[in-house]
Amino acid sequence: MASIKRRYYTWLIKAYFKKMRRTIIGSVVLGILVFFAFIGLLNYYFRPLIFKTTDNVGYAGTYTVNTLPKEILDEISYGLTDVDAKGQIVPSAAIEWDIKDNKIYTFKIKKGIRFHNGEELTSKNINLNFSDVKTVQIDKYTVQYILKNPYSPFLASVIRPIFGKNLAGIGKYKVEDIDVNGGFVRTITLSEISKKDKKRKIYFYPTQKALKVAFMLGEVSKIYGVNTPIVDKTDLSKWKKVKTENYTNYSALVAIFYNNNDPILNNKKVRQSLNYALPPSVTIGERAFGPLPPNSIYFNQAPTYKITDIELSKTLLSTLDEPIKKELVISTTEEYLKAAEEVQKGWKAIGLSSKIKIVQDIPTDFQIFIYEIRVPIDPDQYTLWHSDQVNNITHYKNLRIDKLLEDGRSITDFEKRKKIYADFQKYLIDDVPASFFYFPRQYDISKIIN
């Protein structure tokens, strides 16, 4: 009797399945699809809302929306061009470009690039505005810039990140929130496009000391670009579960500017003597001996490159008509006090006394000033050293250097420019309007989260 019932139910199931197989298979497939759709919805919508992870990081400095650090802007967006590891200009948002008469630049924009607000990047909404430059929209994906005069660093100028409305960029992070107080950015919150649950909240502190104290108090878990891991007498790099990375910042160059109008420093022999007396190495960075970093494709070693010689320095001083009896005045900000002390020690070895004067900003009048140069991607340093430039704080005048700087920014041929800037480095280093002291060592410090 039991076997008859089994055969009956087996027949019944087979018959039911035969009749309803399409419905059953469809239901199973639909169930699988619904299951995976639910998992996807959980991962990509609900999970980011519920399990958001925010990294709190910190930078030192006061910034407006328009002057945020380059490394932050680069995360939000990018420009028409970029620079590779060798320092060469390469395509970015533009796939190619053409240069005519050294002053007409035509860029072809990649199709399909969209701002974080969904708007497509076209020639109409590229807001890279330059003074004395006419912008022409050739077609939807072609933009042209017409310069009044040839300017070869222009390709480096369009590396500047492109932004739409409300800081909408085209990079891997988008701006979710920005807190501005009195015109200065206090915090900015970024979210990663590919990971909705990944956020970075960036805090800005007025000084490096305030930044490091914030790290000690746990307000931020990572701090960027500090010149030393030490705050007061505490070495953050010695803390448990703290990771410290150090690197040489080649985009900054600390220099010793000599006032070429000063009655002592207007003598080239004096400037050369001061330069040769500087220490061959420093503990606060990588010793520099020229105006361009060694990773630049335009870098060239001049004949006097890396020469430090106390005896040569003393010999130059001995040839002066009158010995230097006055105390030299070294002005600098608090940040470069240690550098000033290194300089003071070197000059003491050749019999010159000096005193350090702490200032808050670039003084209008100084004898010697230690400060940082922001090194551009392009080798053009026209505004720093050309005779008629306001930013030429050393009051340096040299017609040969003026001509090299003028030619360097008017020629686009790479080999010709390389020769020009090799000469520029040679003659500038020999003339010593400033001593190029060091590229600062900087530290990124982060807490290790288990």
> Which CATH number is 78-167 given?
3.90.76.10
Confirm or reject CATH 3.10.105.10 for domain 252-440, answering yes or no. Answer: yes
Please state, in angstroms and rounded to a whole number, the distance separating the CA atoms of residues 207 and 218. Answer: 17
| Domain 78-167 identical in fold to domain 252-440 | no
Average pLDDT over residues 396-423: 96
Does the pLDDT of residue 184 top 80, yes or no?
Answer: yes
Q: Where are the domains of the chain?
A: 78-167, 174-248, 252-440
pLDDT for 166 equals 85
DSSP code per residue over 24-35: HHHHHHHHHHHH
206 — pLDDT class (breaks 50, 70, 90): very high
Question: Considering the chain, what is the average pLDDT of its residues?
Answer: 90
DSSP code per residue over 26-91: HHHHHHHHHHHHHHHHIIIIIHHHHS-EEEEEEEES---GGG--HHHHHHH---SEEE-TTS-EEE
Contact status, residue 143 vs residue 107, Cβ threshold 8 Å: yes
Average pLDDT over residues 1-30: 58
State what percent of residues in the chain have pLDDT above 70. 88
Please state, in angstroms and rounded to a whole number, the distance separating the CA atoms of residues 154 and 162. Answer: 15
pLDDT for 162 equals 95
pLDDT for 12 equals 53
Nearest-Å Rg of the Cα atoms of the chain is 31
Please state, in angstroms and rounded to a whole number, the distance separating the CA atoms of residues 328 and 305. Answer: 25
Sign of CA dihedral 421, 426, 428, 429: positive
**Residue 202 carries which DSSP code?**
E
302 — pLDDT class (breaks 50, 70, 90): confident
Does the pLDDT of residue 319 top 60, yes or no?
Answer: yes
pLDDT for 447 equals 94
28 — pLDDT class (breaks 50, 70, 90): low
31 — pLDDT class (breaks 50, 70, 90): low
Average pLDDT over residues 83-93: 89
Beta strands in 158-218 (DSSP E): 173-181, 184-192, 195-205
Does the pLDDT of residue 50 top 50, yes or no?
Answer: no
Does the pLDDT of residue 402 top 80, yes or no?
Answer: yes
47 — pLDDT class (breaks 50, 70, 90): very low
Does the pLDDT of residue 43 top 50, yes or no?
Answer: no
The DSSP H or E segment spanning 252 is strand 252-258
pLDDT in tens, 126-152: 988 898 899 999 999 999 999 999 999
Pick the most confident of 29-38, 188-197, 257-266: 257-266
Q: List the structure tokens of 240.
A: 């448990």
The angle at the Cα of 278, spanning 274 to 281, to the nearest 5 degrees, equals 165
Please state, in angstroms and rounded to a whole number, the distance separating the CA atoms of residues 204 and 216. Answer: 15
81 — pLDDT class (breaks 50, 70, 90): very high
pLDDT in tens, 321-337: 999 999 999 999 998 99
pLDDT for 88 equals 87
Residue 378: which of 160, 76, 72, 95 has the closest Cα?
Answer: 160
